[in-house]
């Protein structure tokens, strides 16, 4: 299947979990499809179009009964990035890779290549199964008509978001060394993107930048792809300096602590106080600063308080 | 063919764990690495294998830095006994990984050795006992056919029979001068009769690099019973007392010369018998003060 030994090694290591991700995604997509098909069966009448006419336009297709690019696929990419980067750290496969005789850069790009390649292949298969299911199970009296403009646009946009999501979880898993904290961090950040996309849309379509509504999704897709490329290249640089004595610590690169803190405080303050008054901004800033400090430095405040109380009692 | 470690230093959490470690290692040699628990033996191995990125220093194989020419790393074998990926796999699956990394990995021998040690190839690594895991690690080390094999406390948890098996296998492996072993231990008895050279780690530094053959050529361990109860000057000046049992003295003389031999025989001892010299005796006699060896026990 793979011509070189490194690719074979990485595939051997991750094939089972990739299959699990594929299985979950397929199950989720099939379930969603069956639910939508069931809904269609409940609707009385005939000549119902499962796919609306907007599929003929060069825009992302959004319909009530059909999704051209399943959200489950975006989830699969997100999970795939997390899996392939974090599990090698957690299960100590990095130790083996780092002394395998392949340069770290080669290892990094091979992992990325195999993960993205597998996820892309998985997407093609799952999309094909999803469409086939619609085709075979469509209720009597309904029609299922597809058109390239809507499909290609939806796929392109879906892939851009998927690759962006992959890069986020991949990069987070590269710099965070604790499983639970990593999941909380990346989940929190991913959910915050909903708010960010709203604010970003307002800024882009505002009076200053004046980006048209039709162009907004493309700017979004471009932003995802550029961010992904930046994170992949930055990740490659960091991966070469990954020293495994930090395994199990929140940040695998202690020098990133202050930059991460600054970015976190600025991002959270901005997200919560965008378009708000000065007081809201001040409160958001203080809360973000305190939470960020507690999260990144993990001061043992409780322990210190007990020590202080005990020493005070001893003196008395 | 030589592996050189030059000026390797590693700091963890603001503490210097190893400092400017420098030594050379050639195929055919069995190097012992001794030092107290926590002195940095495993950190040295992890830094050599680049699991830890060292602050300074480098490892070269035949003059080529393994960071510049990573393929040279395939000549080194090390399984971290504490942190390794093997836990989730069954033994029959392991060659898939090692074949990809070690070009001369011998799968047939791997299977044969598993059978020889009565290790079930369908067992999961994590379900094995500590001793069985140590055996699997050794089997992987031997069948990797890497030139430089690092074993970290390989005898830990093994019974005497298996220990002897392993020791004889290691000796057999180096016989053709194609492989070298670097074996760490906090117990000198484990390395006795196995190591040619002993590296001693103390206070994060490599304080000694002993060639045991040279030391053994000059040293003697003698059991003697003297007529007098007073310990003679020759023994006070030249020997290290290992054991006293009634009137029986066991001493080690690290630089045994004909003059000392004559002086001892002039004392007309009731008993004068040469005993086999162990590594532990040598360390007790020669190095105890400077290495803190007694603290190791």
ipTM: 0.85
**What is d(CA B270, CA A10) in angstroms, rounded to the nearest whole number?**
71
Q: Which residues pair with B182 in a beta bridge?
A: B31, B150
Using a CB-CB distance cutoff of 8 angstroms, which residues of chain A are in contact with residue B46?
A: 244-245
Question: In the predicted model, is pLDDT for residue B288 greater than 70?
Answer: no
Q: Give the C-alpha separation, A33 to B172, whole Å.
A: 64
User: pLDDT tens digits for B93-128?
Assistant: 999 999 999 999 999 999 999 999 889 999 999 999
- Give the pLDDT mean for A77-104: 94
Average pLDDT, integer, range A286-312: 83
| A92 contacts on B by Cβ (under 8 Å) | 80, 83-85
pLDDT classification of B297: cutoffs 50, 70, 90: very low
Taking residues B70-75, report their average pLDDT: 93
Which residue from A167, A153, A3, A14 is spatially nearest to A84, judged by alpha carbons?
A14
Compute the nearest-CA separation of B158 from chain A (Å): 24
Specify the higher pLDDT residue, A195 or A89: A89
Q: How far apart are CA A137 and CA A33, in angstroms?
A: 10
> What per-residue confidence (pLDDT) applies to B287?
59
Task: Report the first-to-last Cα separation within chain B, whole angstroms.
Answer: 36
pLDDT at A127: 96
Sorting pLDDT into bands at 50, 70 and 90, what band is A86? very high
Judged by average pLDDT, the poorest of A135-149, A179-193, B95-109 is A135-149
Asked if residues A172 and A186 have their Cβ atoms less than 8 Å apart, the reply is yes
DSSP assignment string, A223-275: HHHHHHHHHHHHHHHHHTT--GGGTTSSBSSGGGHHHHHHHHHHHHHHHHHTT
Residue B77 to residue A61: CA distance in whole angstroms: 55
Q: Are A72 and B43 within 8 A, CB to CB? A: no
Whole-number mean pLDDT of chain A? 89
Interval A267-281 mean pLDDT = 86
B144-168, pLDDT tens digit by residue? 999 999 999 888 878 888 888 888 8
Cβ contact, residue pair B51, A95, below 8 Å = yes
pTM metric for this prediction: 0.88
User: How sure is the predictor about B295, in pLDDT bands with cuts at 50, 70 and 90?
Assistant: very low
Q: How confident is the model at residue A193 (pLDDT cuts 50, 70, 90)?
A: confident
Model confidence at A96, pLDDT cuts 50, 70, 90, reads very high
Instruction: Read off the DSSP letter of residue B283.
Output: I
| Residue B170, min C-alpha distance to chain A (Å) | 22
pLDDT at B119: 92
Phi–psi pair at B162, nearest 5 degrees: -65, -40
Q: Roughly how many angstroms between the first and final C-alpha of chain A, as a whole number?
A: 74
Residues B73, A103: C-beta atoms closer than 8 Å: no
Residues 6+ apart with CB under 8 A from B206: B21, B22, B23, B199, B200
Q: Which of A103, A106, A241 sits opposite B53 (nearest CB)?
A: A241
> pLDDT confidence of A110, banded at 50, 70, 90?
very high
Share of chain B above pLDDT 90, in %: 46
Nearest by CB to B83, which of A8, A9, A95? Answer: A95
Q: Which residues of A touch B (CB under 8 A)?
A: 5-6, 8-9, 12-13, 91-96, 98-103, 106, 241-245, 247
Q: What's the rounded mean pLDDT across residues B181-210?
A: 86
Phi, psi of B69 (to 5 degrees): -120, 80
| Reported confidence tier of residue B296, pLDDT bands at 50, 70, 90 | very low
Distance CA B139, CA B95 (A): 11
Min mean pLDDT across A9-23, A293-307, B185-199 is at A293-307
Q: Nearest CA to A67 among A119, A40, A27, A32? A: A32
* CA distance, residue A258 to nearest chain B CA (Å): 17
User: Six-digit token pair at A267?
Assistant: 């991002």
The band of B180, judged by pLDDT with boundaries at 50, 70 and 90, is very high
| pLDDT score of B185 | 85
Three-class secondary structure of residue B164 per DSSP? helix
pLDDT band (50, 70, 90) for residue B286: low
């Amino acid at each position: 299947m793979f011509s070189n030994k490194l690719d074979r090694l990485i595939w051997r290591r991750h094939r089972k979990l990739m299959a699990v991700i594929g299985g979950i995604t397929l199950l989720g997509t099939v379930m969603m499809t069956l639910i939508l098909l069931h809904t269609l069966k409940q609707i009385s009448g005939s000549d119902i179009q499962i796919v609306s006419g907007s599929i003929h336009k060069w825009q992302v297709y959004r319909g009530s009964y059909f999704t051209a690019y399943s959200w489950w696929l975006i989830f699969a990419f997100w999970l795939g990035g997390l899996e392939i980067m974090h599990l090698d750290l957690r299960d100590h496969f990095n130790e083996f890779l780092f002394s395998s005789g392949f340069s770290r850069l080669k290892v990094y790009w091979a992992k990325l290549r195999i993960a993205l390649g597998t996820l892309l292949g998985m997407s093609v298969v799952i999309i094909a199964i999803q469409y086939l299911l619609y085709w075979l199970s469509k209720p009597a009296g309904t029609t299922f008509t597809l058109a390239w403009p809507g499909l290609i646009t939806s796929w392109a946009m879906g892939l851009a978001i998927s690759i962006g999501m992959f890069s986020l979880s991949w990069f987070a898993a590269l710099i965070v060394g604790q499983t639970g904290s990593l999941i909380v961090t990346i989940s929190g950040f991913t959910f915050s993107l909903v708010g960010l996309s709203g604010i970003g849309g307002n800024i882009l379509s505002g009076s200053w930048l004046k980006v048209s509504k039709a162009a907004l999704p493309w700017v979004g897709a471009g932003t995802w792809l550029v961010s992904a490329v930046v994170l992949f290249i930055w990740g490659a640089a960091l991966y070469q300096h990954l020293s495994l004595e930090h395994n199990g610590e929140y940040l695998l690169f202690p020098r990133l602590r202050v930059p991460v803190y600054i970015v976190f405080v600025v991002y959270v303050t901005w997200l919560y106080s965008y378009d708000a008054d000065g007081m809201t901004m001040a409160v958001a800033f203080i809360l973000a600063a305190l939470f960020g400090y507690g999260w990144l430095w993990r001061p043992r405040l409780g322990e210190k308080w007990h020590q202080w109380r005990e020493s005070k009692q001893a003196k008395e | 063919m030589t592996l050189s470690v030059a000026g390797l230093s590693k700091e963890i959490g603001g503490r210097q764990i190893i400092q400017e470690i420098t030594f050379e290692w050639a195929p055919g040699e069995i190097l012992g690495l001794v030092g107290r628990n926590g002195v940095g033996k495993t950190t040295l191995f992890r830094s050599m294998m680049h699991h830890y990125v060292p602050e300074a220093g480098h490892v070269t194989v035949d003059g080529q830095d393994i960071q510049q020419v990573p393929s040279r790393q395939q000549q080194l074998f090390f399984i971290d006994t504490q942190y390794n990926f093997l836990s989730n796999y069954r033994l029959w699956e392991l060659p898939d990984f090692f074949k990809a990394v070690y070009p001369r990995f011998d799968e047939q021998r791997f299977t044969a050795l598993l059978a020889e040690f009565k290790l079930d190839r369908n067992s999961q690594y994590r379900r094995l006992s500590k001793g069985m895991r140590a055996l699997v690690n050794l089997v992987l080390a031997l069948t990797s056919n890497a030139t430089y094999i690092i074993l970290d406390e390989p005898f830990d948890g093994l019974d005497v029979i298996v220990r002897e098996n392993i020791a004889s296998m290691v000796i057999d492996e180096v016989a053709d001068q194609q492989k070298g072993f670097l074996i760490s231990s906090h117990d000198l008895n484990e390395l006795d009769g196995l190591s040619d050279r002993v590296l001693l780690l103390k206070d994060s530094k490599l304080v000694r690099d002993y060639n045991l053959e040279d030391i053994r050529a000059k040293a003697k361990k003698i059991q003697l019973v003297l007529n007098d109860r007073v310990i003679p000057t020759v023994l006070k000046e030249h020997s290290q007392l290992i054991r006293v049992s009634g009137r029986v003295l066991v001493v080690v003389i690290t630089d045994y010369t004909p003059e000392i031999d004559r002086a001892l025989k002039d004392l007309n001892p009731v008993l004068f018998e040469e005993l086999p010299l162990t590594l532990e005796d040598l360390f007790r006699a020669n190095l105890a003060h400077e290495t803190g060896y007694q603290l190791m026990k």
